[in-house]
């Protein structure tokens, strides 16, 4: 590895780097490593008190990845791949955080990472094609390029519930759970939200709390996680096939060689519409909720999707003893329009005497009072409220920074008025020299993490090209951006994601005022990678270099 180039001193309180990277999560760590290897000076600015990104912040009880650990990990270093020992098929938050810390140490990354630093403003200087980056610590950095490695599900949505500040008990958020943990023993707890974070934490909290009330606005499609400790020798056998597994990942549409948590949804070869009632019932008898959806047509045919939804509700009713609770736990929107969730004993938790489901479809939350939650169906006295209320996905983290590009345009305003426009999900016109890793319009959340490596490698190669060809700036052209955005958005039209009854973070429906468009590229990783490669080979077609 080439030693990192040193930053150029630029006067008191101001540092000059080739690149400022925002975020020390999976993307930011690899970006720093790669840029160093290419001889660029880089500084990582990280809000958190440690590396890991979402895996630093989301330390709520039960937090675990929904992709398999051997796949949800870096592929760029065979040494790290070989030496790291995953203990579980589906890694837990502590294990992934430990892994990312190991990577930071192993690659000596920490000396270029500044923790406890929130980027507040970024201003593009047109005169010399550089960015001035300012932080909440009053520092100013100047860099030719900025790489936003800010994560796709990192900007938590503050629940818009009246009185939430008035609660005199303990308020916790899954996305900034205390590092020292929290003991729910003997407490009356309310969890608001039943997405992935709520569903994962609820069984763990229920096992501790005196009583748990689950405040559910939308029921989740959730499936049993295949999490389990690796059997002796199992991980070694997998590692022996790592080249093959990575090649399969790269060739797959979703970046996954093994379906991991979602295998339960993909085992069906026969169409649900052609199955007899007996066959349908046998499927849920044998495979629970998985049997409701694992048919060949549930993701492609609206009627089959609807039938799967009903069957899913029947499968829940076989687990949850109280019929009213079982009915409330059944989703009323199409399967797969929201990201499916994986759980460990979620439905069984509702058979516990100390757990009550509050179905907000029967009467919503009116306000939070100093002592609990007032709904239109009654008052619930609580000691602790755990918010599991989600994220402003894909664009939220960048919209919270004042990013001023060419002519002083604010990125936030551009995305608010035009929607989350981008070229390849890597750049937005009017914001030269700013790259977004897994930005809106890229495969991002539709894939396992290898697309992060693709983006980092593409950007690093691009910056080396610019340097070698005497360029100082690169900017997506409005025409290329318009064509890409049209291609990305139209691909989602007619899909389940944009059904009127589907209100997911995939389309920004959980954030008031956010434009209702599908935020990711749906064409699959191989097609995306090929397009990115061709554009680079063609001298960065669709970008203006200068």
Q: Under the rule (CB under 6 A), what is the footprint of ligand NA7?
A: 153, 159-161, 192-198, 215, 217-218, 339, 360, 365, 388-391, 505, 510
Residue nearer to ligand NA7 on the CB measure, 44 or 67: 67
Contact 25, 397 (CB under 8 A): no
Residue of minimal CB distance from ligand NA7? 195
DSSP annotation of 116: S
- What whole-number distance in Å separates Cα of residue 110 and Cα of residue 86? 23
* Closest distance to ligand NA7 from the beta carbon of 299 (Å): 17
Residue nearer to ligand NA7 on the CB measure, 86 or 505: 505
Residue nearer to ligand NA7 on the CB measure, 316 or 460: 316
Residue nearer to ligand NA7 on the CB measure, 217 or 515: 217
* Closest distance to ligand NA7 from the beta carbon of 264 (Å): 16
* Closest distance to ligand NA7 from the beta carbon of 278 (Å): 34
- What whole-number distance in Å separates Cα of residue 152 and Cα of residue 396? 8
* Closest distance to ligand NA7 from the beta carbon of 126 (Å): 38
Q: Which residues contact 12 (CB under 8 A, 6 or more apart)?
A: none
Element spanning 527, H or E: helix 525-537
Q: Which residues contact 409 (CB under 8 A, 6 or more apart)?
A: 430, 431
Give a three-class secondary structure readout of 267-306. CCCCCHHHCCHHHHHHHHHHHCHHHHHCCCCCCCCHHHHH
Cα–Cα distances in angstroms (integers) from residue 161 to residues 155, 158, 166, 364, 504, in the given order: 18, 9, 11, 10, 19
* Closest distance to ligand NA7 from the beta carbon of 416 (Å): 20
* Closest distance to ligand NA7 from the beta carbon of 346 (Å): 12
* Closest distance to ligand NA7 from the beta carbon of 196 (Å): 4
Residue nearer to ligand NA7 on the CB measure, 238 or 355: 355
Cα within 13 Å of Cα(491), Cβ side: 15
Residue nearer to ligand NA7 on the CB measure, 331 or 405: 331
Residue nearer to ligand NA7 on the CB measure, 516 or 541: 516
Residue nearer to ligand NA7 on the CB measure, 18 or 392: 392
Cα–Cα distances in angstroms (integers) from residue 65 to residues 54, 92, 141, 500, in the given order: 11, 6, 34, 29
CB atoms within 10 A of CB 117: 20
DSSP annotation of 371: T
Contact 191, 198 (CB under 8 A): yes
Q: Residue 130 forms beta bridges with which residues?
A: 125
Residue nearer to ligand NA7 on the CB measure, 162 or 247: 162
Element spanning 319, H or E: helix 302-319
Residue nearer to ligand NA7 on the CB measure, 294 or 360: 360
Closest C-alpha to 300, from 494, 430, 533: 494
Q: Which residues contact 8 (CB under 8 A, 6 or more apart)?
A: 16, 41
* Closest distance to ligand NA7 from the beta carbon of 160 (Å): 6
- Specify the 3-state DSSP secondary structure of 224: strand
Residue nearer to ligand NA7 on the CB measure, 75 or 194: 194
* Closest distance to ligand NA7 from the beta carbon of 193 (Å): 3
Closest C-alpha to 256, from 67, 439, 99, 74: 67
DSSP annotation of 361: G
* Closest distance to ligand NA7 from the beta carbon of 66 (Å): 6
Closest C-alpha to 81, from 89, 71, 90, 91: 71
Residue nearer to ligand NA7 on the CB measure, 62 or 405: 62
* Closest distance to ligand NA7 from the beta carbon of 237 (Å): 28
Closest C-alpha to 391, from 158, 221, 217, 165: 158
């Amino acid at each position: 590895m080439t030693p990192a180039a040193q930053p150029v001193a630029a006067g008191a309180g101001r540092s000059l780097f080739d690149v400022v990277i925002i975020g020390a999560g999976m993307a930011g760590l690899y970006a720093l490593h790669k840029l160093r290897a290419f001889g660029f000076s880089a500084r990582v600015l990280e809000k958190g008190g440690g590396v890991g990104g979402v895996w630093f912040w989301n330390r709520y009880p039960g937090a675990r990845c929904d992709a398999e650990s051997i796949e949800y990990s870096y592929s760029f270093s065979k040494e790290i791949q070989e030496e790291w020992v995953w203990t579980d098929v589906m890694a837990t938050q502590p294990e992934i955080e430990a892994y990312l810390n190991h990577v930071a140490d192993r690659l000596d990354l920490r000396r270029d990472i500044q923790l406890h630093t929130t980027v507040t403003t970024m201003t593009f200087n047109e005169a010399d094609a550089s960015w001035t980056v300012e932080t909440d610590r009053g520092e100013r950095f100047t860099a030719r390029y900025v790489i936003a490695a800010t994560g796709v599900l990192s900007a938590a949505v503050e629940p818009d519930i009246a009185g939430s500040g008035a609660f005199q008990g303990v308020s916790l958020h899954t996305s900034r759970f205390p590092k020292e943990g929290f003991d729910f023993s003997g407490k009356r707890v309310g969890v608001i939200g039943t997405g992935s974070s709520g569903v994962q934490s609820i069984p763990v909290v229920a096992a501790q709390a005196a009583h748990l009330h689950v405040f559910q606005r939308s029921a989740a499609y959730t499936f049993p996680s295949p999490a389990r400790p690796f059997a002796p020798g199992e991980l070694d056998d997998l590692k022996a096939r790592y080249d093959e597994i990575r090649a399969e990942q790269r060739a797959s549409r979703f970046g996954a060689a093994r379906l991991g948590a979602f295998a339960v949804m993909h085992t069906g070869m026969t169409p649900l519409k052609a199955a007899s009632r007996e066959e349908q019932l046998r499927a849920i008898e044998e495979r629970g909720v998985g049997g409701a959806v694992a048919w060949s047509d549930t993701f492609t045919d609206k009627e089959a999707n609807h039938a799967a939804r009903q069957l899913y509700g029947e499968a829940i009713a076989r687990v949850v003893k109280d019929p009213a609770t079982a009915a409330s736990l059944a989703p009323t929107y199409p399967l797969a329009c929201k990201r499916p969730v994986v759980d460990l004993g979620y439905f069984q938790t509702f058979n516990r005497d100390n757990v009550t489901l509050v179905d907000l479809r029967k009467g919503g939350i009116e306000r939070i009072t100093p002592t609990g939650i007032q709904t239109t169906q009654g008052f619930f006295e609580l000691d602790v409220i755990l918010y599991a209320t989600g994220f402003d996905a894909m664009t939220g983290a960048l919209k919270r920074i004042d990013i001023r590009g060419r002519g002083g345009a604010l990125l936030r305003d551009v995305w608010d008025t035009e929607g989350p426009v981008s070229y390849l999900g890597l750049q937005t016109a009017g914001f030269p020299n700013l790259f977004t890793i897994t930005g809106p319009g890229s495969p991002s959340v539709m894939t396992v993490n290898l697309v992060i490596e693709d983006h980092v490698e593409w950007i690093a190669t691009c910056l080396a090209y610019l340097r070698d060809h005497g360029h100082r700036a690169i900017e997506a052209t409005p025409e290329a951006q318009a064509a890409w955005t049209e291609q990305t958005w139209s691909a989602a039209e007619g899909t389940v994601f944009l059904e009127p009854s589907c209100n997911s973070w995939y389309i920004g429906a959980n954030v008031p005022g956010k434009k209702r468009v599908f935020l990711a590229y749906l064409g699959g990783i191989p097609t995306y990678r090929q397009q990115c490669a061709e554009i680079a080979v063609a001298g960065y077609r669709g970008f203006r270099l200068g």
